[in-house]
Amino acid sequence: MSEYQYYEFQAIDRPLDEDAMAALRAISTRAEITPTSLTNVYHFGNFKGNPDRLMEQYFDAHFYVANWGTRCLMLRLPARSVPLATVTPYIVDNTLEARATKEHVILHFHSDSDEGDEDFEEGEGWLASLIGLRSDLLAGDLRCLYLAWLSGVENDSVDEDTPEPPVVPGLQKLTGPLRRFIEFLRLDPKLVEVAATTSGEALPRVPPPEELAAWIAELPREEKDQVLMRLIQGEGVPLAGELLQRYRKDHTRKQKRTGQAGQSEEVPRTAGDLLEGRDKLAEIKKKQAAEKAAKEHAQWVREQEAARTRRLDAMKGREEECWRQVEQAIQSKKPKEYDQAVEWLKDLFALADRSDSKDAAVKRIRELRERHRNKSTFIQRLDTAGIPE
């Protein structure tokens, strides 16, 4: 396959204006540019733009893939919604980088594969399947950050003695974007399963309306005025996530005050503990798969034996007719008919064994072999099937 590089950028919170689109067109005359996106595919050469700079200036999401095994996902988030300090515990070399600008935090997720073309997927559709992670982060859902750190554990970017960062809730029940993100990272699902054993229930996607209404009623009037002002100024998407985060924090504090929040003591784990747990789980799953395969094979054998018994019962008393059918099939000189003849001979031999006439059957088969000794294809089939010589 020839070289393949795919670039896609999306503007989510604010569309591109005419000046921005003109500046982007100056970078690439081949790119498909709309008020909300830039897409380009290269089979030779390289994109002249700098994705880091473009994310700082124009876009909220970026996806890149190359057929030599590189995948990149970048997300730009308002710093007031997702502070850099929130991301820092999950940063790991070669998997997750993060940096802050004046107003934003930009996340850079990275995945490389030595397999190259073997697990290659073209870029179209990738960003659409992952973009939900941005809304999740704005709402305080940090699962993708934890999964990125876990990927660093798997690719040896994290020392085995490194303590695990805060385990986020909801790893036992993943959304579609998170499952796709695991594919993006090439992360072993068994490692995710082990990590999820200390993960609590997922955060509710939408608070109950009556609780949300009560919480809004308690907000100071000045804050409500600020929220409305920001909404009018076009901050609707990040603002909604920011408010949802605040609601959940207030709700959690309230539960703790009233004793409704469950108390759980988590045993600290290291990266090495997680890898060891993955290896143990892999052995368990391997054993379970082998047991399942053995049961299925045994069931298949029983079914085959039962079918053969029924077939032999139906042939009983019709042996001579079956011998004639064998001869007719051989005379056709067709491979498919040869196969049918061999199956009949196997059944006739088994039927003869039942009635203590095996010697007679062996004699007839030898005579048959002699008559058709020049039909090498048929004789080879007999030998392969173990039909007596």
Determine the Cα–Cα distance for residues 100 and 79; give it in Å rounded to an integer.
Answer: 7
- Looking at the domain assignment, is residue 348 inside a domain? yes
Q: Is the pTM of this model over 0.85?
A: no
Q: DSSP code of 203? A: P
Question: Is residue 51 located within the same domain as residue 180?
Answer: yes
Question: Is residue 156 located within the same domain as residue 219?
Answer: no
- Cα–Cα distances (Å) from 175 to 133, 141, 181, 195, in that order, read 9, 11, 10, 16
The reported pLDDT for the residue numbered 235 is 66
Domains contained in the chain, number: 3
Question: Is residue 153 located within the same domain as residue 174?
Answer: yes
What six digits make up the tokens of 50? 């700098």
- Cα–Cα distances (Å) from 178 to 28, 145, 187, in that order, read 32, 10, 11
The reported pLDDT for the residue numbered 257 is 63
Question: Is residue 196 located within the same domain as residue 332?
Answer: no
Question: Which residue in 129, 108, 190, 188 sits closest to 155, CA to CA?
Answer: 188
Question: Is residue 100 located within the same domain as residue 249?
Answer: no
- Looking at the domain assignment, is residue 306 inside a domain? no
Antiparallel, parallel or unpaired: β 37-42 and 5-10: antiparallel
Written as tens digits, the pLDDT of the chain (389 aa) is 579 999 999 999 999 999 999 999 999 988 999 999 999 999 988 899 999 999 999 999 999 999 999 999 999 999 988 999 999 999 999 999 999 999 999 999 999 987 766 778 999 999 999 999 999 999 889 999 999 999 999 999 999 999 999 898 889 999 999 999 999 999 999 999 999 998 876 665 567 777 777 777 877 888 777 778 777 776 666 666 667 767 666 666 665 565 554 444 556 899 999 999 999 999 999 999 999 999 999 999 999 889 888 988 888 888 888 888 888 988 888 889 989 888 888 888 888 888 888 888 888 888 888 888 888 888 888 888 888 77
Determine the Cα–Cα distance for residues 136 and 96; give it in Å rounded to an integer.
Answer: 17
**DSSP symbols for 252-295:** HHHHHHHT-SPP--PPP-BHHHHHHHHHHHHHHHHHHHHHHHHH
Domain boundary among 168, 185, 203: 203
The reported pLDDT for the residue numbered 195 is 94
- Cα–Cα distances (Å) from 55 to 106, 107, 124, in that order, read 8, 10, 19
CB atoms closer than 10 angstroms to residue 327: 12
- Looking at the domain assignment, is residue 285 inside a domain? no
Beta strands across the sheet bearing 32-34: 32-34, 37-42, 5-10, 61-66, 70-78, 104-112, 96-100
The reported pLDDT for the residue numbered 262 is 47
What CA dihedral angle connects 132, 138, 139 and 143, to 10 degrees?
Answer: 60
- Looking at the domain assignment, is residue 86 inside a domain? yes
The reported pLDDT for the residue numbered 277 is 94
Question: Is residue 105 located within the same domain as residue 171?
Answer: yes
What six digits make up the tokens of 145? 């950050």
The reported pLDDT for the residue numbered 350 is 85
Collapsed DSSP state (helix, strand, coil) of residue 21: helix
Collapsed DSSP state (helix, strand, coil) of residue 235: coil
Collapsed DSSP state (helix, strand, coil) of residue 65: strand
Question: Is residue 235 located within the same domain as residue 87?
Answer: no
- Looking at the domain assignment, is residue 278 inside a domain? no
Using an 8 Å Cβ cutoff, are 24 and 58 in contact?
Answer: yes
Structural domain including 363 reads 316-385
Question: Is residue 218 located within the same domain as residue 189?
Answer: no
What six digits make up the tokens of 237? 């998407």
Question: Is residue 229 located within the same domain as residue 351?
Answer: no
Using an 8 Å Cβ cutoff, are 275 and 153 in contact?
Answer: yes
Determine the Cα–Cα distance for residues 197 and 160; give it in Å rounded to an integer.
Answer: 19
Determine the Cα–Cα distance for residues 362 and 349; give it in Å rounded to an integer.
Answer: 8
- Looking at the domain assignment, is residue 273 inside a domain? no
**DSSP symbols for 126-182:** HHHHHTHHHHHHHTT--HHHHHHHHHHHHTT-S-TTPBP-PPPTTTTS--HHHHHHH
Determine the Cα–Cα distance for residues 114 and 112; give it in Å rounded to an integer.
Answer: 7
- Looking at the domain assignment, is residue 270 inside a domain? no
- Looking at the domain assignment, is residue 293 inside a domain? no
Cβ neighbors of 389 (< 8 A, separation 6 or more) are 366, 369, 383
Determine phi and psi for 64, rounding to 5 degrees. Answer: -140, 140
Question: Is residue 155 located within the same domain as residue 244?
Answer: no
Question: Is residue 79 located within the same domain as residue 172?
Answer: yes
What CA dihedral angle connects 215, 216, 221 and 227, to 10 degrees?
Answer: 130
- Cα–Cα distances (Å) from 130 to 10, 242, 281, in that order, read 12, 20, 28
Question: Is residue 345 located within the same domain as residue 377?
Answer: yes
